Amino acid sequence: MSRTAGRTPRESSATSKTAESDSIPAVRLEGVGHEYDSDGGRLRSGDGGTVTALRDVSFEVNHGEIVGLEGPSGSGKSTVLHAIAGLLVPTEGRVLLRSTDLAELSGRERTRMRRRHVGIVFQRFHLLPSLSARANVALPLVQRGMGKSARRERAEDLLERVGLGDRLEHLPGELSGGECQRVAIARALSTDPDVIVADEPTGELDTETGMAVIDLLTDLGRDRAVVLASHDEGTLAVADRVITLRDGAVVEDGG
């Protein structure tokens, strides 16, 4: 399903950060399936009933490409994003991030891989309420071991780029929904990731603010792979292609 009408043309993957990154997909899913225990949604233990979240999902995303995920609630969109980010290991198939099979890594190694290569934008922002906008953006850099002066400069630069240079010391409770999502986007970009995953990034926003946030996300993520899940047609319109999920399976790939 093509969604390119009315969309500003994006730069090609020739603008990606390295020639090496252009030569391989940023993300590749190969026959990914996933099941949860029916009791509380925990990962399958082998006992009791299971719920199938994903069935034989395969696609790839290149650097500089935006891929949208659409489908009804429960279709598997969020599970796909979690698998790409290494937040879960699928029960079948492989997820390759920069050609690395995430299932072959230890939990600690997956965490390091995610912190270095994946930026995550959530629907409900997930900002720490007691930290300023600047401190929220800098937090992933603390985890990376970056020095205080360098992470302060990086956070201030990103907030300036998202139009919040005058909100550095504001707490999330002092910001509007659109401003909070801008802080979340700046945080997702703080580690200069190769991949950005966004789960219903405009779901808490009005239409005008939501489109401004999507324009910002896609512009700042121009040389990265972006995978965004949404129910909103306007949000999906920025995608280079849209993948439709039903009952955990791909039923249409607009590529």
Cα distance between residue 47 and residue 70, in whole Å: 32
List CB contacts of 250: < 8 A, sequence separation 6 or more.
Answer: 57, 58, 59, 243, 244
pLDDT digits (tens, 9 = 90+) for 49-71: 788 999 999 999 999 999 999 99
pLDDT at 238 over 80: yes
Cα distance between residue 1 and residue 192, in whole Å: 30
Q: Residue 138's Cα: distance from chain center in Å?
A: 18
Instruction: Kindly give the residue spans of alpha helices, DSSP state H, lying in 118-245.
Output: 133-143, 148-161, 177-189, 207-220, 233-236
Write down the pLDDT at residue 5.
40
More confident residue, 136 or 45: 136
Over residues 221-239, the mean pLDDT reads 90
Cα distance between residue 189 and residue 248, in whole Å: 29
Write down the pLDDT at residue 39.
61
- In contact, 249 and 79? CB cutoff 8 Å: no
Q: Domains in the chain and their CATH numbers?
A: 21-253 (3.40.50.300)
Q: What's the order of all strands across the beta sheet hosting 100-101?
A: 50-61, 27-37, 92-97, 100-101
**Three-state DSSP state, 63:** coil
Over residues 93-116, the mean pLDDT reads 94
Cα distance between residue 228 and residue 140, in whole Å: 21
